[in-house]
């Protein structure tokens, strides 16, 4: 393996998609941090009455954005088939559908009642994410699909655990709170693990034989022996 600027340029020309994916991959963790910081900031204090409805919609919107960012490796590495896009949409919906228990607990469809269900229910727990993951495994027999569902649900539960959830139910039946830095670190960890896993199971990228900053050495050509040097066959 040799680092060669000339070969790297050739590689960039040959596989521009790899370079684009690399840049997007570098941007996602920063976007994740920016969404968490700005979202939490906007949610921390209720605005004037006229903006309350829009403010209440912020929470599901942030959950969906985090879920989407965590599954971006699936969108980057997986071929853009209608089935794949549908699967990705289902994952993003799942990241917010986890709040269905709020509707059940509130017994109402009004946004005000739903968002006031605090502390969260036992549904917002690691055990529930594991159960959903197990169901996905039984249906698909694919570890990557299992992990993706587990990761989007955990991104939701970890965020809610920061404001007081039941993340460790039934092992710790009471409310289980995590700190701001723990919540943000866990979200980034979920993204990194998803990226690592999806990259390792997807072979769509041409970079399967290298990366633009680290191209593999060209295969050695067999040495051609000139005709005159060859020993005449007996
Ligand atoms: Zn929730």
* The pLDDT of residue 234 is above 60: no
Q: In whole angstroms, give the CA distance from residue 204 to residue 80.
A: 11
| pLDDT band at 118; cut points 50, 70, 90 | low
Task: Provide the whole-model pTM.
Answer: 0.77
Q: What token pair was written down for 200? A: 């390792």
DSSP structure string for 167-202: TTTTTS-S-B---HHHHHHHHHHHHHHHHHHHHHH-
Question: Which residues fall within 8 angstroms of residue 177, CB to CB, at 6 or more apart?
Answer: 161, 162, 163, 164, 165
Task: State in Å: Cα 156 to ligand 1 middle.
Answer: 6
Ion ligand 1 neighbours (CB, 5 A) are 99, 160
DSSP 136: H
* The pLDDT of residue 220 is above 70: no
Q: What does the pLDDT look like over 16-40, one tens digit per residue?
A: 777 888 888 899 999 999 999 999 8
- Rounded to a whole number of angstroms, the CA Rg of the chain reads 24
Predicted local distance difference test score (pLDDT) of residue 202? 75
Task: State in Å: Cα 84 to ligand 1 middle.
Answer: 26
* The pLDDT of residue 114 is above 50: yes
Q: What does the pLDDT look like over 130-152, one tens digit per residue?
A: 999 999 999 999 999 999 999 99
Task: Return the bridge partners of 214, or none.
Answer: 211
Domain locations along the chain: 5-211
Predicted local distance difference test score (pLDDT) of residue 187? 95
Contacts of 216-221 with C-beta under 8 Å, sequence gap 24+, read 216/1, 217/1, 217/2, 218/7
Q: What token pair was written down for 82? A: 């209608």
Look up tokens 């051609």; give the residue.
224
Task: State in Å: Cα 22 to ligand 1 middle.
Answer: 32
């Amino acid at each position: 393996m040799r680092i060669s600027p000339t070969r790297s340029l050739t590689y960039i020309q040959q596989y521009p998609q790899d370079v684009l994916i690399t840049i997007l991959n570098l941007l996602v963790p920063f976007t994740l941090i920016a969404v968490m910081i700005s979202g939490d900031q906007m949610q921390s204090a209720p605005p004037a009455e006229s903006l309350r409805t829009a403010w209440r919609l912020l929470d599901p919107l942030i959950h969906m954005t985090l879920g989407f960012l965590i599954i971006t490796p699936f969108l980057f590495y997986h071929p853009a088939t209608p089935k794949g896009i549908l699967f990705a949409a289902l994952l993003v919906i799942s990241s917010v559908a986890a709040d269905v228990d709020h509707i059940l607990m509130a017994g109402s469809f009004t946004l005000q009642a739903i968002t006031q269900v605090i502390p969260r229910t036992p549904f917002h727990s690691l055990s529930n994410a594991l159960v959903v993951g197990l169901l996905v495994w039984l249906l698909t027999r694919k570890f990557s699909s299992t992990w993706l569902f587990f990761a989007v649900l955990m991104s939701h539960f970890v965020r809610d655990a920061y404001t007081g959830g039941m993340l460790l139910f039934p092992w710790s039946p009471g409310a289980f709170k995590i700190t701001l830095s723990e919540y943000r670190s866990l979200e980034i960890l979920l993204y990194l693990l998803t990226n690592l896993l999806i990259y390792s199971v997807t072979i769509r990228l041409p970079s399967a034989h290298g990366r633009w900053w680290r191209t593999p050495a060209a295969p050695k050509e067999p040495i051609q022996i000139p005709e005159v040097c060859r020993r005449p066959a007996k």
